[in-house]
Amino acid sequence: MKVTKKQYILGFGIVVIVLAIVRCVSPSVTLPKNKEMVLKPDSDSSVIKTEHISDTEKVEQSDKKVKSIFFDSLGNPVKHRIYSVPCFRDAFPDFNDVQLASATKYGVKPVANREEAEHRKKDLVFVGSNPFFYVDRLHSSIPYLVPRASEILQQIGRNFYDSLTIKGIPLHKIIVTSIMRSKADVDKLRGHNGNATQNSCHLYGTTFDVCYNRYKTIEDPDGPARHKVRNDTLKWVLSEVLNDMRRNGQCYIKYEINQGCFHITVK
């Protein structure tokens, strides 16, 4: 059958009109084959938006599901960057008056001496060195805290340990230099330190000091010696841990320049 020019133009026009109608009714038929449509609800649950994800994006999303904070999708260790804080004094500005209000709220009545503290086991817990922190030799304090503060100290040590792990830094323990002070300790301290306050936060068992210029290296007694890590590096990592906890409302922190420590009170 011979098709005339008029019939050809008429048939072509009909096909174009049909395709236009199909596209208006179902626009998804015109999408490339290497993309798939994902339906996502808009803020209004009655409205559905469409997002198109390419094959490359699907691979990247799959990789994100496989990756963890410790290993990438190929099983290689992931080392995270150290950010520290912009300024230690600005990041940890909580002075004694702020910390004292929290200490009197969550703490115990000040004890006269160590003997009295040992008889307050109902209110205080003993604080000793463990896998996550090291208690230094205490000269003007005693190793007791209220349970709330003891838990915060434990969490700081654990978070510091975890942070060193994911950053690929040899493991170290934080060092606790001062814990609870009895009235006798405060009187003794004021005898040779005129700047020591009479109403110290340490009296209430809510406060402890963690030094930032010394750390306890964790060594394998049967393995090779660990390579040295600068104290500044460890201080930066510790500041990240403390900054997160302070921002989460868990504690107050003062950066002490002369004492070389972070002065921490439970919140």
User: pLDDT of the chain along its 267 residues, tens only?
Assistant: 566 767 767 777 787 787 777 776 666 555 554 444 444 444 443 343 444 444 444 434 444 443 444 455 555 655 678 889 999 999 999 999 999 999 999 999 999 998 999 888 899 999 999 999 999 999 899 999 999 999 999 999 999 999 999 999 999 999 999 999 999 999 888 776 655 677 899 999 999 999 999 999 998 888 787 778 999 999 999 999 999 999 999 999 999 999 999 999 999
Q: In whole angstroms, give the CA distance from residue 38 to residue 23.
A: 19
Degrees to nearest 5, angle at CA 17 with 16 and 21 = 115
Question: Same structural domain for residues 125 and 143?
Answer: yes
Q: Which residue range forms the structural domain that includes residue 14?
A: 1-30
Q: Which amino acid is at 236?
A: W
Q: In whole angstroms, give the CA distance from residue 175 to residue 210.
A: 6
Question: Same structural domain for residues 116 and 218?
Answer: yes
Beta bridge partners of 264: 208, 253
Domain assignment present for residue 83? The answer is no
Domain assignment present for residue 130? The answer is yes
